[in-house]
Amino acid sequence: MAIYENLLLDLQQGILTITINRVDKLNALNIDTIREIRNAMQQVYDDEEVKGAIITGAGPKAFVAGADITEIAELSEVTARSFAERGQDVFAMIERSNKPVIAAVNGFALGGGCELAMACHIRVAAENARFGQPEVNLGLIPGYGGTQRLTQLVGKGKAMELMMTADMVGAQEALQLGLVNHVVPQEQLMAKSVEIMEKIMGKAPLAVGLVIECVNAVFNNDENGYQTEANAFARCCTSEDFVEGTSAFIEKRKANFTGN
């Protein structure tokens, strides 16, 4: 098992909770933390005991308050490109995971933190959460996929405004914009995230993974999303889970899905 300096991992009843643990830095993402998130996501991919993941931040103030500016300040044009691409690759692992990943946003989600939350499939925010892409304040732009995912989630006009003004939005406005799925009191954040995850885990794992694949296809210009959907539908129809699901429906009992 990988050893983590900046993450806390806890596997309980199929849910892997991944906590960014750099409280003194408001959980800012440095290169080591990005690498550790990749390793944690590899465990999500590979470990059959893991049915889904919840990503959150340590402490009461921040989910992730941004990237580590001291590292960015040292980048050249060449190293900056690889820096951005490395983060994009890790966040793409989250987005493409065939197991659900929920962001439990417990405070500031700024810059790389907002990008991390947006890479997750579902976002649950505490009432004190605040979201933003403030990179233009530093003469930068988002580099971990923020220009793409924020536009997908809130639309072109609002994404342009938020990224060009560097304005932050609170949890309720984020909910209205479609940036988050739910807003709850902070003390209920993890319980709500677990509740959603457990509901998903009660469904057919193969079908859940194919929903993720098909929804992601909407935003892939090189992919025919309708064909992806048809192929996924056909795959479901030949699965053991489909046989189990239809049998359970007819027999008026709870389905026992295996993911096959």
Three-state secondary structure string covering the chain:
CCCCCCEEEEEECCEEEEEECCHHHCCCECHHHHHHHHHHHHHHHHCCCCCEEEEEECCCCEEECCECHHHHCCCCHHHHHHHHHHHHHHHHHHHHCCCCEEEEECCEEECHHHHHHHHCCEEEEECCCEEECCHHHHCCCCCCCHHHHHHHHHCHHHHHHHHHHCCCEEHHHHHHHCCCCEEECHHHHHHHHHHHHHHHHCCCHHHHHHHHHHHHHCCCCCCCHHHHHHHHHHHHHCCHHHHHHHHHHHHCCCCCCCCC
Task: Decide if 1 is inside a domain.
Answer: no
Does pLDDT of 96 surpass 70?
yes
Concerning whether 115 is annotated as a catalytic residue, the answer is yes
Same domain for 133 and 172?
yes
Task: Decide if 85 is inside a domain.
Answer: yes
Does pLDDT of 2 surpass 80?
no
Are 10 and 17 a contacting pair, CB within 8 Å? Answer: yes
77 exposure class (CB count in 10 Å sphere: 0-12, 13-18, 19+): exposed
Query: For residue 1, what pLDDT band results from cuts at 50, 70 and 90?
Result: low
Mean pLDDT over 186-213 rounds to: 97
Domain of residue 221: give its range.
Answer: 205-251
Same domain for 190 and 73?
yes
Query: For residue 176, what pLDDT band results from cuts at 50, 70 and 90?
Result: very high
Same domain for 125 and 181?
yes
Task: Decide if 114 is inside a domain.
Answer: yes
Same domain for 133 and 196?
yes
Closest CA to 75 of 84, 87, 66: 84
In the set 115, 187, 195, 198, the catalytic residue is: 115
Task: Decide if 46 is inside a domain.
Answer: yes
Q: Read off the pLDDT of residues 133-163 as tens digits, 9 standing for 90 and up.
A: 999 999 999 999 999 999 999 999 999 999 9
Concerning whether 135 is annotated as a catalytic residue, the answer is yes
Closest CA to 173 of 187, 188, 153, 192: 153
When the pLDDT of each residue in the chain is averaged and rounded to a whole number, the result is 95
Instruction: Say what percent of the chain tops pLDDT 90.
Output: 87
Same domain for 192 and 73?
yes
Mean pLDDT over 98-113 rounds to: 98
Same domain for 47 and 170?
yes
Are 175 and 202 a contacting pair, CB within 8 Å? Answer: no
Does pLDDT of 260 surpass 90?
no
Task: Decide if 256 is inside a domain.
Answer: no
Judge if pTM exceeds 0.75: yes
Task: Decide if 258 is inside a domain.
Answer: no
Specify the number of domains making up the chain: 2
Q: How far apart are CA 61 and CA 222, in angstroms?
A: 40
Same domain for 131 and 168?
yes
Same domain for 195 and 242?
no
Closest CA to 255 of 221, 204, 215, 212: 204
Task: Decide if 31 is inside a domain.
Answer: yes
CATH assignment at residue 129: 3.90.226.10
Spatial strand order in the sheet of 15-20: 7-12, 15-20, 52-57, 101-105, 122-126, 182-184
In the set 135, 161, 187, 213, the catalytic residue is: 135
